[in-house]
Amino acid sequence: MKKLTLAAIVGLGLMSGSALAASAWTGGDDLPTSPLACDGTPAAAVAKPYDGGVPTNPPDRKGKKITVVDVPKLIGIGYFNATSKGIAGAAAELGNVDAKTDGPTKANIDEQITFIDNYITSGVDGILFAANDPVAIAPVLKKALEKGINVVGYDANSTPDARQWFVNQAQFNGIAKSLVDNMAKEAGEDAGVAIVTSTFTTPNQARWIAEMAAYAAQCHPKMKWLETVEAQEDNNLSFNQATTLINKYGDDLKGIFGMTSVATPASAEAVTQAGKCGKIAVVGLATPNAMKPYVEKDCVKSVVLWNPVDLGYAAMQVLRAVADGTLQPGATSVKAGKLGDLQVINGSEILLGSPYTFTKENIGQFDF
Amino acid sequence: MSGAAFSPGRSNLQRFLSGYGQEIVVLLSIAALFAVVGAVNPRFLSDTNINSIFAGNAYIAIAAIGMSMIIMAGHIDVSVGALIGVIATIAGTLAVKGYPIWMAWSVPIIFAIAVNAAVGTLVAYTRIPSIVVTLGMLSILKGGLISATQGEWITNMPAEFMIAQMRPFGIPSAVWFMVALTIIAALFLRYTDFGRSIYAVGGNMEAARAAGINPERTVIGVFALHGLFAGIAGILFATQLQVIQSTVPPNLELTIITASVIGGVSILGGTGTVIGSTLAAILFACIGSALIFLNVSAYWLRAVLGLMILATVLADMVRRRRDK
């Protein structure tokens, strides 16, 4: 039984050993960062040749009425209801597009392929998609291109040569800027902040944290990073970790970044249950539905993500521009109706723009 | 028989220490952690942090009471984590759909008892090892949960449903449940015929049968009781936060089993107490909190728990050999 005590001591020894290896903003990766300008000037596009696909002998669709089908990952959930709403809105605004959304009720790649295949056979002019699998969806999309159909992706990409363009909802540096700017605004320029993430090695989260550290160093140099804790994608663990951070730092902690859609609501819950609403700001990535209780109680002021309605709207505008021939390989921007000019990045992707911040004023309009 | 650790007549200090040795070790570990981490950062000892430590793992402690009984009876249940996820989802769904709150609390508990009584019946009469039956149940519950919820979270639950967030006399209700259920279960195991028959069946099934105990009925009863504790744990789990995830916490069943084993329940069956498993669950919460206070990755928690399991099982083996 002494062994148990021994084990605990050994364990504690190991712990204090690794505590010495702390560095700035733990949880970020070592890849190069590209922080955006503090005032939001878009970064200069890195020239990269067009790497999208090309439809075979498409008919001249310029200004003509076209039929478009949108096949998202799945239908019937709030998120894709919102993109579908954006697509329908753009189609109505354009006036010369007949658009509809159809797809599997489960996020199943086989069913998604069948849907797309059937619409190719039935003869459509354009296909919009959000891929359940980037590689598996490629053959059926290439088949569509071979039939002269215009193909544009959004939300979830395919391999580039299987579609013409992809509307990218958010870049790492854009998300990072939005998170850090909102935190500085709510918690103060010299706030002590902590991060609740999934794991230190989860690729997206590690990228965001690295970009956040780089952007904060440049634009909010007084922001004091205290600690990053891991909480996997576990609700209760996230809550316990956030609660412990609050207990540990007391009044030195002014803000918590939630890096996942699980960590952000759980951190907000921890702040609520600790009675620290208004004293500790929670800014994070999350879906509106999970955050509504906290936003409505004024405990959380900004939830960062992108606007799926705008995403669908942009995808439809891009498809129309491709069909009209106004968006050609090599272009650096595209006109997307009320969203204005959107930037071309990475050869054949179109950036939706700055991330969207959900606030008390607008969160009620979203259901996903 | 090995259940004799609790037979009357062993009253001197040495007997007490050998009967409750593991509990004392766990208790001392908790005290040592409080002393060491409290010295490094006094905020560790603030009442809010102590409240968080006790409340954070209360549902694990309660589930570990049932799990301890299962292991004492010579069985195992690897489906309990999935069961807790299903209970939480049923309870949350009923609450959101506007059913009376008492139904949202009790229906899932009855469901848990029924599921586990069925598992117990299979284990008792078909003699299929419980690890196989509960592994099957794990897949059924986990798969069923994901298809039924489609990955959607449950939110907007009514405030009066959130029992784990209530604080009678300033202490979280989950802590009250943990303390009360641990005491009741400890008394039950020690002073009732059924309680003692659990040790007897786990120690030696045929000897128990010869002594007039019906091992099959005991096994079914133990599984049903385990369902009751898992059900209560599931309700506390469901009402701790404002959202219920459609997936269960990864490795929840392992954490619960680990609490039982580190609390001194012999993995070979026949001995152990529920006080030990509750203390062990508190110890885990303590370690988890201490890791943050000492700036250490939470992944060490798994490593430390693993070490502790090995040490505990080893100590159990040594003790058994020495007792022979």
Q: How confident is the model at residue B12 (pLDDT cuts 50, 70, 90)?
A: low
Q: What local confidence, expressed as pLDDT, does residue B4 receive?
A: 44
Higher pLDDT, A280 or B3: A280
Where along chain B do its domains lie? 2-323
Q: What local confidence, expressed as pLDDT, does residue B2 receive?
A: 41
Min mean pLDDT across A239-243, B2-6, B55-59, B190-194 is at B2-6
Q: Does A37 touch chain B (CB under 8 A)?
A: no
Express as a percent the part of chain A with pLDDT over 90: 59
Of B48, B262, B303, the CB nearest to A247: B48
3-state secondary structure of A119: helix
Nearest-CA distance from B204 to chain A in Å?
25
Higher pLDDT, B129 or B268: B129
pLDDT in tens, A348-357: 999 998 888 9
Contact B99, B304 (CB under 8 A): no
Which helix (H) or strand (E) segment holds residue A257: the answer is: strand A255-258
pLDDT in tens, A133-167: 889 999 999 999 999 999 999 998 999 999 999 99
Nearest-CA distance from A198 to chain B in Å?
11
Angle of CA points A42, A44, A47, to nearest 5°:
140
Architecture of domain A66-170+307-356: 3-Layer(aba) Sandwich (3.40)
Where along chain A do its domains lie? 66-170+307-356, 172-305
Residues present in chain B in total = 324
- What's the ipTM? 0.82
Q: Exposed, middle or buried by CB within 10 Å (0-12, 13-18, 19+), for B39?
A: exposed
A66-170+307-356 and A172-305 agree in CATH topology: yes
| Max avg pLDDT among A28-32, A39-43, A207-211, B206-210 | A207-211
* B297, B318, B321, B322, best to mutate vs chain A, most A CBs in 10 Å: B297
Q: How confident is the model at residue B323 (pLDDT cuts 50, 70, 90)?
A: low
Q: What local confidence, expressed as pLDDT, does residue A45 receive?
A: 62
Query: Taking 80 as the threshold, does the pLDDT of residue B14 lie above it?
Result: no
Structure-token match 């800014």, residue found: A283
d(CA A11, CA B286): 13
Query: Taking 80 as the threshold, does the pLDDT of residue B94 lie above it?
Result: yes
Query: Taking 80 as the threshold, does the pLDDT of residue B15 lie above it?
Result: no
Nearest-CA distance from B150 to chain A in Å?
8
Average pLDDT over residues B288-306: 78
Q: What local confidence, expressed as pLDDT, does residue A299 receive?
A: 92
Q: What local confidence, expressed as pLDDT, does residue B1 receive?
A: 38
Is B2-323 CATH 1.10.3470? yes
pLDDT in tens, B29-63: 899 889 989 998 888 998 889 988 999 889 999 99
d(CA A206, CA A199): 8
Query: Taking 90 as the threshold, does the pLDDT of residue A9 lie above it?
Result: no
Average pLDDT over residues A184-190: 93
Number of Cβ within a 10 Å radius of residue B309: 18
Closest CA to A129 of A110, A156, A107, A104: A156
d(CA A294, CA A282): 10
Average pLDDT over residues A285-295: 88
Of B241, B287, B310, the CB nearest to A269: B241
Closest CA to A96 of A58, A67, A57: A67
Q: Does B156 touch chain A (CB under 8 A)?
A: yes
Distance set, CA A43 to CA A307, A344, B18 (Å): 21, 11, 70
Architecture of domain A172-305: 3-Layer(aba) Sandwich (3.40)
Q: What local confidence, expressed as pLDDT, does residue B264 receive?
A: 83
Structure-token match 């919009």, residue found: A128
Q: What local confidence, expressed as pLDDT, does residue A122 receive?
A: 92
Min mean pLDDT across A338-347, B154-163, B312-321 is at B312-321
Question: A274 to chain B: nearest residue by CA?
Answer: B48
A-proximal residues of B, 255-314, CB under 8 Å: 262, 285, 287-300, 303-304, 307-308, 310-312, 314
Average pLDDT over residues B150-165: 82
Average pLDDT over residues A208-227: 92
Residues 6+ apart with CB under 8 A from B259: B60, B61, B64, B67, B277, B278, B280, B281, B284
Q: How confident is the model at residue A269 (pLDDT cuts 50, 70, 90)?
A: very high
Q: Exposed, middle or buried by CB within 10 Å (0-12, 13-18, 19+), for B186?
A: middle
Q: What local confidence, expressed as pLDDT, does residue B215 receive?
A: 86
Which helix (H) or strand (E) segment holds residue B234: the answer is: helix B215-240
d(CA B287, CA B80): 23
Query: Taking 90 as the threshold, does the pLDDT of residue B314 lie above it?
Result: no
Query: Taking 60 as the threshold, does the pLDDT of residue B27 lie above it?
Result: yes
Q: What local confidence, expressed as pLDDT, does residue B233 receive?
A: 95
Q: How confident is the model at residue A97 (pLDDT cuts 50, 70, 90)?
A: very high
d(CA B32, CA B51): 18
Query: Taking 60 as the threshold, does the pLDDT of residue A87 lie above it?
Result: yes
Q: How confident is the model at residue A20 (pLDDT cuts 50, 70, 90)?
A: very low
d(CA A64, CA A81): 27
Q: What is the pTM of this model?
A: 0.80
Query: Taking 60 as the threshold, does the pLDDT of residue A76 lie above it?
Result: yes
Phi/psi at B156 (5° precision): 60, 40
Interface touch B312/A236, C-beta < 8 Å: no
Contact A193, A255 (CB under 8 A): yes
